[in-house]
Structures are given as C-alpha cells and as structure tokens.
Amino acid sequence: MTGLALYIHWPFCKSKCPYCDFNSHVRAGIDEARWRDALLRELDRGAAETQGRELVSIFFGGGTPSLMAPPTVAALLERAAARWSLAPDIEITLEANPNSVEAARFRDLAAAGVNRLSLGVQALDDTALKFLGRGHDRDEALAAIDLARAHFARFSFDLIYARPGHTPAAWQAELREALRRAGDHLSVYQLTIEQGTAFHTAFARGDFVLPDEEIQGALYEMTQNMLGDAGLPAYEISNHARAGQESRHNLAYWRYRDYLGIGPGAHGRLTLGGVKYANANHRAPETWLAAVERDGHGAATRTALSRDERRDEMAMMGLRLTSGIARADMRAETGGDIEDAFDRARLDALIGGGFLELDAAGLRATPAGRQRLNAVLDRLLN
Ligand code: SF4
C-alpha cells in the first residue's frame, strides 16, 4: 500500500481578505472543544477506512489554522499517531498568519509536532499589505519570519505580485529582501481576481487596475530568474524550493497520490478496494459540524472516478510540476502509457507548438506551457 497524506481544514479567519476565495469564514466566537471533537471524529472515520497505510504528511490549512489552540493541534496529531503508522520523516505543516503569531504559540505548536510552517506574508510593503486587506504590517511579517526560523526546522512564506501599480523595480527590491529572509521554500503567486471576492466587485467597479500583460510577464520572468539564481528554482507554477525541500504534502496532490481531507470543504482522493474515489465535504462550517455530529463524517459527495477522469485529473495536477507526469505514475493510474492516455494528434500539436515535452521520463509542460497552463489543458483534454 502506498503512503497517505492527511489534510485538516480549519475554516476560521480573523477577517476576510478581499482577494480570497478559500473556504474561510469570520465568526464572533466558536466552541473550540466542539470543533476539536468533530475533527477527531472525522479523523477516526478516515483512519478506519485506510488501515494499513503509512501517513507521510499532515497539513493544517485554512482559513487560519494558527488560530487553533496548540492543544487542539496536539490532540489531532496524537490521534493521527494512534490511528496510523507515521513515516519516520513525516512532514507536518501548519499555515500561519503573521497577525496570529506569538512566540509561545509557535513554541507550543513545534512541541506538539508541527515541523514545517507556511507563513502568509503576502508582501513586504505596508501600502500593498493594506491594499490586500492583511491584518499585519511589514514589521510584523518580518518578526513572524524570524520566529518561524527560530522554532521550525523548515518554513516557507507566501508572496503575491502583480498588484496595482507594481513595477519591476519595486518587485526586484521586494524579492531581494525576501531572499535574504527566506528558508528553503517560497510560494509566489500572481494576484488574480476571483469570482465572489470583494476584489471582484471592486475591480468590476473600476476601483483599481492591474498591471498590463507585458508588466505581468516581466514580473513573472523576474521571479523565475531571481529565485532560480538564488538556488530556489520553481518546482511548481507558484512554488520554489531548494532540491529536497519541496512541500511533500503538496507534491502528493500534484503527483496524484492518495490524500484524506477532514474538516469543512476538505477534499480527498482515496483508493479503496482498487477504486479511486473523489470525496468532498460540506463547505459551510456549521453544516459540516452538524453532519459529523450526526453521522461521524462531513462528506457531501463520494464519487468513483473513471479512467478518463483520473487521467484528466493527473494531467491537471502533474503538468503544474516542472518535472511533469512520470511515465510510471500514468501507467499505475490508468494502466496505459502517456501516448495511449491522450489523443495523439492533440498531444503532438502541443509538443510541436513548444508547450509540452515528452521523453523517456514522462510528459511535462515547457516554461511557455506552464505560463498558459489552462489553455494547454483545454487543448489537451477537451
Ligand atoms: S487569512 Fe488566508 S484564508 Fe483567511 S481570508 Fe485571508 S487569504 Fe483567506
């Protein structure tokens, strides 16, 4: 049996950032003991279904899981250790916001077993942080990075570029500073305007404009070049790491391995009895909580995936990686080679156009292909 990754979703935030379309919610107060018990219950249920698997990573995402009391994190980790065997080098990541940071909390989270921190820094510029609706300023972000370095063997932080008025000169200075502060991993996202967010309304109203395509392209190129030169090349569209320091948990998604998701809105891909299932939990926190308390799990849907669906999902995830889709992985998932899995004429057209590469190792998107991956996938799969 292959390893298993575990995702735990904590859906609460202090405030809602205007660009965010994650399943995150602001509540005046919550009964944390009730939430802990529900997460433990759903974890037990998932463990019962996946007995005999080794847990290779755990990821606390959100929302803002650094708002969880450290004893809640400790209880979940203790239960996971009691229910599964843990890989000796298990990666346990928790997402944190600089405004929910205190030294004691970081120390306690590390003592509970968290060994990797992912910090939502987003910018090192106070004007940009204000625009992004972040609850922290630059000094708090820098202090949080120092604390992460002090308490965790591995840490990463996120940055968002292509903000209104963002110039290559400003981004270069910000990236230089980020590199001086970085550990072995950085996540760098281009600002996008998502449906249903406050930015979507404000952008439609004309409250702000984004840099044009030429500047966006220059900022992207600069990111690739500067981080690559500093030994942190991209291993995924938005993620950069030194060799061996990639997020193992996120690699499980991109390599289309099995993962169990617990908490509101969490998704999973689980192979049970030789069939791969897509699981999706109820998104609304209170609906999920009531379902778990009633049924022992918060699943809204569980769907067996067909061979074509698995191939499509593998392409959507694997082509995000610089290394692409390994031949052995496609064979294990679909029983066939990459050449048989996809329509040959479409594959050849995308290879001929310089967007995909196919060789003995597997199929990958070229840098040009990764820059317009949605269009490439559309051509390949639809
Ligand atoms: S803190 Fe993170 S999850 Fe919460 S609203 Fe902001 S971006 Fe979304």
Convert the pLDDT of each residue in 233-254 to its tens digit. 999 999 999 999 999 999 999 9
Q: Between vectors from CA 153 to CA 243 and to CA 225, what angle results, nearest 5°?
A: 35
Nearest alpha carbon, ligand 1 atom 6 = 17
Give the mean model confidence (pLDDT) for residues 115-129: 97
Question: Could you tell me the distance, in angstroms and rounded to a whole number, from the CA of residue 37 to the centre of ligand 1?
Answer: 24
pLDDT above 70 for 293: yes
Encoding tokens for residue 252? 């499980």
Nearest alpha carbon, ligand 1 atom 3 = 63
Nearest alpha carbon, ligand 1 atom 2 = 63
**Res 104: pLDDT:** 77
Q: Between vectors from CA 299 to CA 295 and to CA 300, what angle results, nearest 5°?
A: 115
Percent of the chain with pLDDT over 90: 97
**Res 151: pLDDT:** 95
Question: Could you tell me the distance, in angstroms and rounded to a whole number, from the CA of residue 196 to the centre of ligand 1?
Answer: 14
Question: Could you tell me the distance, in angstroms and rounded to a whole number, from the CA of residue 195 to the centre of ligand 1?
Answer: 15
Give the mean model confidence (pLDDT) for residues 154-177: 98
- Tell me 207's DSSP state: S
**Res 99: pLDDT:** 82
User: Which distant-in-sequence residues (6+ apart) come within 8 Å of 209 by Cβ?
Assistant: 164
Give the mean model confidence (pLDDT) for residues 276-287: 98
Q: How confident is the model at residue 100 (pLDDT cuts 50, 70, 90)?
A: low
Residues 211 and 165: their CA atoms lie apart, in Å, by 6
Strand order in the sheet with 116-122: 234-236, 239-241, 185-190, 154-161, 116-122, 85-96, 54-62, 4-10, 259-262, 267-272, 275-281, 299-304
Task: Confirm if 4 and 56 have CB atoms less than 8 A apart.
Answer: yes
Closest listed residue to residue 347, CA positions, set 379, 316, 315, 372 = 379
- Which one of 12, 16, 19 would you pick to mutate in the ligand 1 pocket, going by the greatest count of ligand atoms within 8 A of its CB? 16
Give the mean model confidence (pLDDT) for residues 354-373: 96
Strand order in the sheet with 356-358: 325-326, 362-365, 356-358
Ligand 1 is surrounded, with C-beta below 6 A, by 13, 16-17, 20, 22, 24, 62-64, 97, 120
Give the mean model confidence (pLDDT) for residues 288-305: 98
CB neighbours of residue 285 within 10 Å: 24
- Which one of 14, 19, 22, 97 would you pick to mutate in the ligand 1 pocket, going by the greatest count of ligand atoms within 8 A of its CB? 22
Nearest alpha carbon, ligand 1 atom 7 = 20
- Over residues 315-352, the pLDDT tens digits come to 999 999 999 999 999 999 999 999 999 999 999 999 99
Record the pTM. Answer: 0.97
Looking from the CA of residue 19, the nearest atom of ligand 1 is 7
Percent of the chain with pLDDT over 70: 99
